């Protein structure tokens, strides 16, 4: 009996709650009224006007330039229909008109070389100095052909100074010693070695059969007897 009463009570509550929910859904109320478009009803708004772009200006007509005066010696602008032989009198019209820039000057010998005016001399170009190069396998090295007796410095002789001075020399295309500087030496012997090497003479170094300036290393030995 209590169980049956509980079921009936639950069923009644479900029916009541469902009825309340359905009643709220069906009670929509009055719908809102439609509004007019602002762009057409508001008199304070400025209407938008669509204006077409102006047409482009007509191009200015170019005035023809006056015809330039054509010289009698000017090259023709149109190709000739045939080739005629020269008569030797083509420049007479220009010469009679007073032009001095057409043809060859009067009195010039026709046998003179082309490009050289009579009495003119060509400038002689000075030989450009060559930079000395170091000896390599393709160069015929210089050979000493004149030796000079070495003078032993008195101070080095008194100090019993001996040794080998190594010098780097520049030998020009004539075989002369152009410059000398010490690579390794001794303070008491260096100047005497430089003085004697500057007096040496060599055969020129040859590269492809032509003399060239070279850089060569030489030694001077100082020995006490």
C-alpha 177/C-alpha 170 separation (Å) is: 6
C-alpha 191/C-alpha 214 separation (Å) is: 22
Q: Mean pLDDT of all residues in the chain?
A: 78
CATH fold for domain 133-222: TolA/TonB C-terminal domain (3.30.2420)
pLDDT confidence of residue 78: 77
pLDDT in tens, 116-136: 565 666 566 555 557 999 999
pLDDT over 60 at 100, yes or no: no
- Selection from 154, 160, 176, 180 nearest residue 168 by Cα: 180
Residue 79 to residues 83, 87, 219: CA-CA distances in angstroms? 10, 20, 78
- % of the chain with per-residue pLDDT over 70: 64
pLDDT in tens, 199-217: 999 999 999 999 999 999 9
Domain boundaries, the chain: 133-222
pLDDT confidence of residue 176: 96
φ, ψ of residue 221 to 5 degrees: the values are -105, 125
pLDDT confidence of residue 61: 66
pLDDT confidence of residue 53: 79
| SS3 letters across the chain | CHHHHHHHHHHHHHHHHHHHHHHHHHCCCCCCCCCCCHHHHCCCCCCCCCCCCCCCCCCCCCCCCCCCCCCCCCCCCCCCCCCCCCCCCCCHHHHHCCCCCCCCCCCCCCCCCCCCCCCCCCCCCCCCCCCCEECCCCEECCCEEECCCCCCCHHHHHCCCCEEEEEEEEECCCCEEEEEEEEECCCCCHHHHHHHHCCCEECCEEECCEEECEEEEEEEEECCC
pLDDT in tens, 144-171: 999 999 999 999 999 999 999 999 999 9
């Amino acid at each position: 009996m209590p169980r049956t009463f509980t079921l009936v009570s639950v069923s009644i509550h479900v029916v009541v709650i469902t009825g309340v929910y359905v009643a709220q859904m069906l009670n929509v109320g009055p719908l809102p009224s439609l509004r007019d478009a602002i762009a057409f009803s508001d008199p304070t708004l400025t209407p938008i006007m669509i204006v077409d772009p102006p047409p482009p200006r007509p191009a200015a007509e170019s005035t023809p330039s006056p015809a330039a005066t054509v010289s009698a010696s000017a090259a023709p602008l149109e190709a000739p229909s045939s080739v005629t032989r020269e008569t030797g009198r083509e420049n007479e019209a220009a010469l009679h008109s007073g032009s001095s820039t057409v043809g060859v000057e009067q009195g010039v010998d026709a046998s003179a070389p082309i490009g050289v005016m009579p009495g003119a001399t060509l400038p002689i170009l000075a030989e450009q100095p060559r930079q000395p190069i170091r000896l390599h396998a393709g160069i015929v090295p210089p050979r000493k052909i004149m030796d000079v007796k070495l003078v032993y410095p008195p101070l080095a002789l008194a100090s019993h100074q001996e040794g080998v001075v190594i010098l780097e020399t520049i030998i020009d295309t004539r075989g002369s010693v152009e410059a000398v500087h010490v690579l390794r030496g001794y303070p008491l012997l260096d100047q005497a070695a430089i003085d004697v090497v500057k007096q040496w003479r060599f055969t020129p170094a040859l590269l492809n059969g032509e003399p060239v300036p070279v850089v060569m290393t030489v030694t001077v030995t100082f020995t006490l007897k």
